[in-house]
Amino acid sequence: MAAELSPIDKAKFVAARRAVDFVEDGMRLGLGTGSTAAWMVRCLGERVREEGLKITGVPTSSRTAELARQCGITVLGLDEAKWLDLTIDGADEFDANLNLIKGGGGALLQEKIVATASDRMIVIADVAKEVAQLGAFPLPVEVVPFGWQTSKALIEETLVGLDVLGREASLRMNGEAPFVTDEGNYIVDLHLQRIGNARQLALVLNQIPGVVENGLFIDICDVVVIGHGDGKVELRDINEGTTAEERIEFADSDNIFADLDE
């Protein structure tokens, strides 16, 4: 089964496989949402089954919670866990300073709350997610449904005075209806192409009435684990200022490939 994975999936898998090595017995972990995070949850489940690893997971979405339970991971809410040792999550984009765009899967609010309630955040990503400047990926902004069109208009008006290349905003849809987050909110995606000052944009967006949170994660990520399709992984630690390269070997016999039902 491993041989049948695409290069992108192999890159996501090796990043996830390496990231779970940071997990120690007894930890309380934030579990991210998305395709790369799903690999991470499966890798954790494998360690729980084979090593008897005892951990508690705080999922960032209902989808992740369901997968974690299926993998044998004990799940708690953040209010029960209170504070976390580590969060491992994916990203839609990251730059050289490990600033991120997240929210492509629609879970940015819970993801940001969980990440900031952790001692450390590790991001797992394939190499294609690295960018020189954030903005090519649409920036998600979570808004309350009441008056969402007004919030969208205010966002577009605000963008005129900011250092961005594009200013198109669109309501995320799920078929014929608006996409609804786990908190019952909508998402407006901003097609900015290039973000000149991500920190300023994040602060300004959150001042707009109706905006709940935005998908810019600034100064939150500590380590990024970058996967490549040939099995190479690169680890960058923003706090230590270090970069290291390793190689992950895996075989079709790995238990993680036994339940690929997504």
Work out the number of other CB atoms within 10 angstroms of the CB of residue 147.
13
Q: In what order do the strands lie in the sheet with 56-59?
A: 74-75, 56-59, 28-31, 84-89, 118-126, 223-227, 232-237, 242-247
- Check the annotation: does 10 bind a ligand: no
CB 29 within 8 A of CB 85: yes
Annotated ligand binding at 35? The verdict is: yes
Annotated binding-site residue? 169: no
- Token pair for residue 245? 């390269």
The answer to whether the annotation marks 65 as part of a ligand binding site is no
Q: Which residue in this structure is represented by tokens 């923003």?
A: 238
Is 91 annotated as contributing to ligand binding? Answer: yes
Per the annotation, does 112 bind a ligand? no
Active-site hit among 111, 142, 168, 240: 111
C-alpha 229 chain-centroid distance: 20
Residue type, 1: M
Instruction: Please give the Cα distance from 213 to 112 (Å, whole number).
Output: 9
Q: CA–CA separation, 27 vs 191, rounded Å? A: 38
Q: Residue 105, annotated ligand binder?
A: yes
92 assigned to a ligand binding site: yes
DSSP string over 34-95: SHHHHHHHHHHHHHHHHH----EEEESSHHHHHHHHHTT-EE--HHHH-SEEEEEE--SEE-
What is the CA angle 42-4-136, rounded to 5? 70
Q: Which residues, in sequence order, are bridge partners of residue 226?
A: 125, 234
Q: Is 104 annotated as a binding residue?
A: yes
Question: Is 90 labeled as ligand-binding?
Answer: yes
- Does 151 count as an annotated binding residue? no
Whether 111 is a known active-site residue: answer yes
Amino acid at 158: T
Q: Is 33 annotated as a binding residue?
A: yes
Residue 89 in marked binding region: yes
Q: Which residues are catalytic?
A: 111
Annotated binding site: 33-36, 89-92, 102-105, 129
* Binding site members for substrate: 33-36, 89-92, 102-105, 129
